[in-house]
Structure 1
Amino acid sequence: MMIKVGLLSSTLVDRENTNWKNRFKKYSKNFSIIELDSTFYAIKTKENYIRSVDETPDNFNFIVRAYQGMTGDRRYNSQFSGQTDMYDAFKESVKYVASKNKLKAVLFQYPSWFDCNNRNVNLLRETKERMNNIPSALELNHHSWFSPNICDRTMSFIKREGWIHSISDKFNEQEINELFSIIQLTNVQHLIVHSHGYDCINDLLKLRDKLEILKKKTSEINVIFSTDFSIGAKELIELTK
């Protein structure tokens, strides 16, 4: 079972504008995966991906955040003639990453107001169909998807539709523990975990223990740390060796 730990690409922003050229090459010396979060704000061209892909070793992977128009963000102003045009542009943009076998997943991180209802369930089905065979991860951040009477159905839906499951530690500790327990029981094959803290060694040990339990039933786990938590990410790599 593989655990890959990495950071958001926004952590690579050099506030002093130095050493920008080889940032992915330098990053890949410490980490084997990264989440490109800038793709949420704009669909990149192939040229934007080439350097970052070519600077990294063969076993390096990218999680690419889905464009904001694809997850219904309310701040989004359409630049496309329609949904098909937008999805086609995004899928074309990540082809180079996929061609080098470095695309781990396109991450659909839905906003906190995206609640559980029939309309949104159908929207998720349509979204997965639009992505065809491109590996796609789903992160649901509204509590209704994981309420006691709905959670099992949500987990079954994610698995049945072929989504990679992504979770965030934005929920409170009790909810996170319950969610980890459910994931363990539902035999998730690939899991992405978003961490927004864990520089404290005790918190890292708790996360490590949860991951160790999940390792028994999960083929692969990717842990992505938020900006400014690179120390915690490096410590987790050592703890999970």
Structure 2
Amino acid sequence: MIRLGLTSFNEHDKLTGKKRSTLYEYAGYLPLVEMDTAYYGIPKQDSVREWTKSVPENFRFVMKVYSGISCQGEWQQYYQSEEEMVEAFLTSMAPMIESGKLFAFLIQFSGTFSCTKENVQYLEKIRRWFTGCPIAIELRNGSWYTAKYIKQTLSFMKHNEFSLVAVDEPQIPTNPVPFFPYVTNDHFALFRFHGRNAAGWMANDKDWRKKRTLYRYNTEEIAELSEAVEKVAREAKEIGVIFNNNSGGDAAGNLLEMKAALNLEYDNLNPKQMDLF
């Protein structure tokens, strides 16, 4: 099954027709969402339980893990050890895991997480910490994809049953990360589309959030990405596609274009208001 979704549920008026939507309303249109809430702080278990109750049985979540787990947060001020941090995260996420509505935990590393022995060992720790959980790894350092390391990267991902995220992002000359739709776990694969605005991607001023994913894919680009999704869908059981190019509100529109291109229709979603009459 190919599931199309967006980053967050509450800011996509081109999808729901509302400036701010609830998760329940969002789940009347799409069967997948990426939740980044836990990246900034591990949520209460009750909040996670309410999320799972707000969506139908066939709905799935891509949950971005806490920043401390992806080596981007100062976890030491909150937890005594890495193991305590991971245990807190998994305890929080227990209702989602138990509900069967987890598509994958997304572990997005920064551009400084390069292909080194130490970082490979850290990924091995992640596999031990998240035994039995679906894990999608997003690498933003191009060294993993170089001719020197790509075969080892793919072999490592397969061996550990990680799904290597197929990322479409701006190609930065100093750190190019290619769009690489390759299946490393035949149970599930994940695409994330960030847009191709190189200048915005590199912005580091106070308005960087308004620029980073400011991009609208054109018709030809949507066709190319759709072809890649279809190819991977022949090799993996479950496909998740997340549009994150929403600095200018373009994600939902591009998703609907891909939905049409792939001729997708979704059943068993939450009822929309108009469906109640």
- Give TM-score, length-normalised by structure 1: 0.88
Q: Which has the higher helix share?
A: 1
* 2:235 aligned with 1:217: yes
- The answer on whether the counterparts of 2:142 and 2:177 sit within 8 Å (CA) in structure 1 is no
**1:126-205 to 2 correspondences below 5 Å:** 126-170=125-169, 172=171, 176=178, 179-180=180-181, 183=182, 188-197=186-195, 198-205=216-223
CA distance in 2, matches of 1:114, 1:148: 18
CA distance in 2, matches of 1:238, 1:77: 46
CA distance in 1, matches of 2:40, 2:229: 31
- Residue of structure 1 equivalent to 2:54: 55
Deviation at 1:107, TM superposition (A): 0.8
Task: Structure 2 unaligned segments of length 5 or more: list them.
Answer: 196-215, 264-277
- Residue of structure 1 equivalent to 2:261: 239
Q: Does the C-alpha gap of structure 1 residues 150 and 188 become closer, same or farther in structure 2, counting only changes over 3 Å?
A: farther
1:40-96 alpha-carbon deviations (Å, 9 max, x no partner): 000011111222211111000011101000011156563111111100000001110
Deviation at 1:12, TM superposition (A): 1.2
CA distance in 1, matches of 2:19, 2:171: 38
Q: Report the 3-state secondary structure (helix = DSSP H, G, I; strand = E; otherwise coil) of the residue aligned with 2:58.
A: coil
Q: Does the C-alpha gap of structure 1 residues 145 and 12 become closer, same or farther in structure 2, counting only changes over 3 Å?
A: same
The one-letter code sitting in structure 2 at the alignment partner of 1:201 is T
The one-letter code sitting in structure 2 at the alignment partner of 1:99 is E
- Residue of structure 2 equivalent to 1:94: 93
CA distance in 1, matches of 2:185, 2:45: 36
- Residue of structure 2 equivalent to 1:35: 34
Whose RCO is larger (CA < 8 A, sep 6+)? 1
- The answer on whether the counterparts of 1:146 and 1:154 sit within 8 Å (CA) in structure 2 is yes
1:163-183 alpha-carbon deviations (Å, 9 max, x no partner): 122122125399635x23xx1
Q: Report the 3-state secondary structure (helix = DSSP H, G, I; strand = E; otherwise coil) of the residue aligned with 1:12.
A: coil
The one-letter code sitting in structure 2 at the alignment partner of 1:233 is L
**1:75-86 to 2 correspondences below 5 Å:** 78-86=77-85
Q: Report the 3-state secondary structure (helix = DSSP H, G, I; strand = E; otherwise coil) of the residue aligned with 1:67.
A: coil
The one-letter code sitting in structure 2 at the alignment partner of 1:134 is C
Deviation at 1:210, TM superposition (A): 1.4
Q: Report the 3-state secondary structure (helix = DSSP H, G, I; strand = E; otherwise coil) of the residue aligned with 1:70.
A: coil
Task: Structure 1 unaligned segments of length 5 or more: list them.
Answer: none
Q: Does the C-alpha gap of structure 1 residues 199 and 26 become closer, same or farther in structure 2, counting only changes over 3 Å?
A: farther
CA distance in 1, matches of 2:152, 2:26: 39
- The answer on whether the counterparts of 1:5 and 1:233 sit within 8 Å (CA) in structure 2 is yes
CA distance in 2, matches of 1:187, 1:99: 21
Across the aligned residues of Structure 1 and Structure 2, the Cα RMSD in angstroms comes to 2.4
- Between 1:215-224 and 1:157-166, the stretch displaced more is 215-224
CA distance in 1, matches of 2:161, 2:171: 27
- The answer on whether the counterparts of 1:145 and 1:151 sit within 8 Å (CA) in structure 2 is yes
Q: Does the C-alpha gap of structure 1 residues 175 and 71 become closer, same or farther in structure 2, counting only changes over 3 Å?
A: closer
Percent sequence identity over matched residues? 23
Q: Does the C-alpha gap of structure 1 residues 19 and 208 become closer, same or farther in structure 2, counting only changes over 3 Å?
A: closer
